[in-house]
Chain A
């Protein structure tokens, strides 16, 4: 995994969250380390939209037991989860 690819993944995650989840809640900016669950950007349905996005657009499979705040609550954590999966493959 090159740094460029890594940046692309993070960009894609950020863009998805901004356009698909945050804008509907009237939020346009957020930090990469900010808890998007605490501020309501990622609600219970948002979690599944995010997982579907990861599965369909980034080609990673997310296990049932991985769908939890500690893996998905911020852009940084989502990126870590994706990278850990890509490394395993």
Chain B
């Protein structure tokens, strides 16, 4: 076992942190207040090579291995205060680029990956429906074959990046009698007649990441826009979720470290009763707990990523890591507010935003309850 980053990974990590701190943090409070997504930051990330990281070089990507990718995402979480933006970036990478890389035809890869990597296009996937959330495969969107086309009809909700999306991966069932085995994934380009991006939804946190509804009304797409084959939806969705659970949580780890360091600094500088508040064990213990959570989360996540890098399927490990890190992150943000007292509750201190952003981690990519269902299910329950 080797717990160290290689010299190259460590240097890359530093470079990503420097980039994120310099380029991605401007005007944060206002952008959060206005729920504003930053296209210019998106382009800067593309120029830096973030979007291309996990994509093979032959399609213009960086061809980074899983652990290097994870290292970069953690560094971004540490350097960039805009958790919403990072969430959009993660959604684009794991739910659009990865499925196309793993399941796309050569023509699909050549058509879409270069645009997704260069920042020109933004991708998203739409699985969730008003009536199908945790029970995702019970979706009601239908895809009917008509000659050389598929016709999609249905409604999607909570689709991250919908407002700015150029490429939509839509999950639909080709044959409801097949239940989950009929679920298939379709590549739908912005502007396709019948693809209607509905209203933007306002939310508690991650406000700089747009989220919205999508309606598909007799939306006709060429049959070659089917991703892989009919019935591959489960495999495609699970692959995305495995990546997303691991890599979004890497950004959470970076954020947890940043928040902890802010708390340590504050606990040294803020004095009450004639001494720094960190000297009170009630405060010092909170910082110790934050550190324990961070380190535990790292071990869980790195193990899941390591298994993935070995070509294994760490469904159990990525579920455990996702469950743990998302919940630990919320607790650490709550502790951070407590350490900062009244100031922590104030928007200007930028701690309350971290908490608002963290809460969603228990819901997206499978709720905490569903992660427990998966873990228990893998033990036969």
Contact = CB atoms under 8 A, between A and B. Distances in A.
B331 interface: no
Interface stretch (A5-13, A26-34, A62-70, A75-83): A62-70
A65 B181 contact: no
A45 interface: yes
Most buried by B among A24, A63, A68: A68
B264 interface: no
Interface string B357-381: 0000000000000000010011010
B180 interface: yes
Contact of A64 (B239, B377, B380): B239
Contact of A67 (B181, B235, B311, B316): B235
A77 B96 CA distance: 29
Nearest to B180: A44
A44 B228 contact: no
Nearest to A40: B179
A65 B227 CA distance: 11
A51 interface: yes
Interface in B230-254: 231-232, 234-235, 238-239
A64 B66 CA distance: 14
A22 to B, nearest CB: 11
Given A44-B137, A44-B234, A64-B239, A51 B228 contact: no
Contact of B228 (A38, A45, A65): A65
Chain B contact surface mostly: helix
Nearest to A23: B380
A48 B377 CA distance: 10
Given A37-B181, A64-B102, A64-B239, A47 B380 contact: no
A64 B100 CA distance: 12
A11 B360 CA distance: 45
Contacts of B180: 43-44
Given A37-B181, A65-B103, A67-B238, A48 B313 contact: yes
Contacts of A70: 229, 231
A70 B103 CA distance: 15
A48 B238 contact: yes
A62 B231 contact: no
Contact of B231 (A55, A61, A68): A68
Contacts of B228: 65, 68
Contacts of A55: 312-313
CB-based closest 3 A-B pairs:
A45-B377, A67-B235, A64-B239
22 contacts: A20-B380, A44-B234, A44-B238, A45-B374, A48-B313, A52-B313, A52-B316, A55-B312, A61-B311, A63-B311, A64-B102, A64-B103, A64-B239, A64-B313, A65-B228, A67-B234, A67-B313, A68-B228, A68-B229, A68-B235, A69-B181, A69-B231
Given A44-B234, A68-B235, A69-B181, 5 more contacts: A37-B181, A52-B378, A55-B313, A67-B313, A68-B234
